[in-house]
Amino acid sequence: MIMLFGKYFLLMRDVIQRPQKWRFFWKQLFTEFYSLGVESLGIVAIISVFMGAVLALQTAFNIDTPLVPMTMVGFTTRQGIVLEFSPTIISLILAGKVGSRIASEIGTMKVTEQIDALEIMGINSANFLILPKISAAIIINPFLIIISMFLGIFGGWLACVTTNLVTSHDYIIGIRSWFDPYSITYALTKTVVFAYIIASVSAFYGYITKGGALDVGSASTKAVVQSSILIIIFNLILTQLLLT
């Protein structure tokens, strides 16, 4: 375990260096924006809309006293989506989608000696391959999470209106009530940390792959599991640090 941490930090030391050629770095960064961000939009949108809808319906079904106003449905949905569901659940989904992609891509390059080929050319392979991925994830994930927040709240509204459990007016009053802008800061801070975890842990497991196709698969699984566990742990730590 200690050796694994040591290897991770040594790799990160090589990753966080000035790129060999900035032109190449920008080119790769934009490629990663597309593959890590744009290509994840679909799954983020679907999950967010349904997550918001379920959250709103569950809240509405659980309000069985006239003392609690139905505006609470909008309020609870917004809080749930902004504080927890979008930053954490979507990050867990991205750990699966993006994490396995990064680990298998780098793992395959490792076992087919493409990484050795980079090293032989005198190129810092860790910096060349991993820095654009980490940078792209850190920059693009907050946008994905913001989109997820809007779609989640929209999903809640859609569910309420189509089932007639809550009126559109009540729902909108609810989502506008007691809004604290700090909750957005909290959510985006978590998102950036989770994005770093997803990209760096997955790249690490890909980079240390040895063997063949089976080992690439195993590295990919380890990347998803470890980054998911780390996201859960850091969620608790960051919540403790930022909200108390």
Q: How many residues at the interface with another protein, by CB under 8 A? A: 14
Binding segment (CB under 8 A) for another protein, from list 108-116, 133-141, 193-201, 225-233 = 108-116
Neighbours of 96 (CB within 10 A): 16
Given a contact cutoff of 8 angstroms between Cβ atoms, the answer to whether 109 and 216 are in contact is no
Q: Which is nearer to another protein, 2 or 121 (CB)?
A: 121
Q: Which is nearer to another protein, 121 or 236 (CB)?
A: 121
Q: Per CB under 8 A, which region of 50-58, 110-118, 213-221, 236-244 contacts another protein? A: 110-118
**Burial grade of 208 (CB within 10 A; 0-12, 13-18, 19 or more):** middle
Stretch that binds another protein, among 82-90, 122-130, 179-187, 198-206 (CB under 8 A): 122-130
Classify 164 in phi/psi space as left (phi over 0), alpha (psi -120 to 50) or beta. left
Residue 43 to residues 36, 47, 97, 172, 205, Cα–Cα distance (Å):
12, 6, 9, 26, 24
* Shortest distance, position 10 Cβ to another protein, whole Å: 13
Q: Which of residues 4-63 bind another protein (CB under 8 A)?
A: 20-21, 24
CA distance 230 to 232: 5
Determine which residue in the list 1, 2, 3, 121 makes contact with another protein, applying CB under 8 A.
121
State the nearest-atom distance from the C-beta of 12 to another protein, in Å: 16
Minimum CB distance to another protein, residue 199 (Å): 19
Kindly tell me which of 116 and 180 has the beta carbon lying closer to another protein.
Answer: 116
- Closer CB to another protein, 78 or 110, in the complex: 110
- How big is the CA angle at 104 (ends 102 and 106), to the nearest 5 degrees? 65
Backbone angles phi, psi at 117, to 5 degrees: -60, -40
Residue 17's SS3 state is: coil
Query: Which residue ranges make up the site for another protein (CB under 8 A)?
Result: 20-21, 24, 112-114, 116-117, 119-124
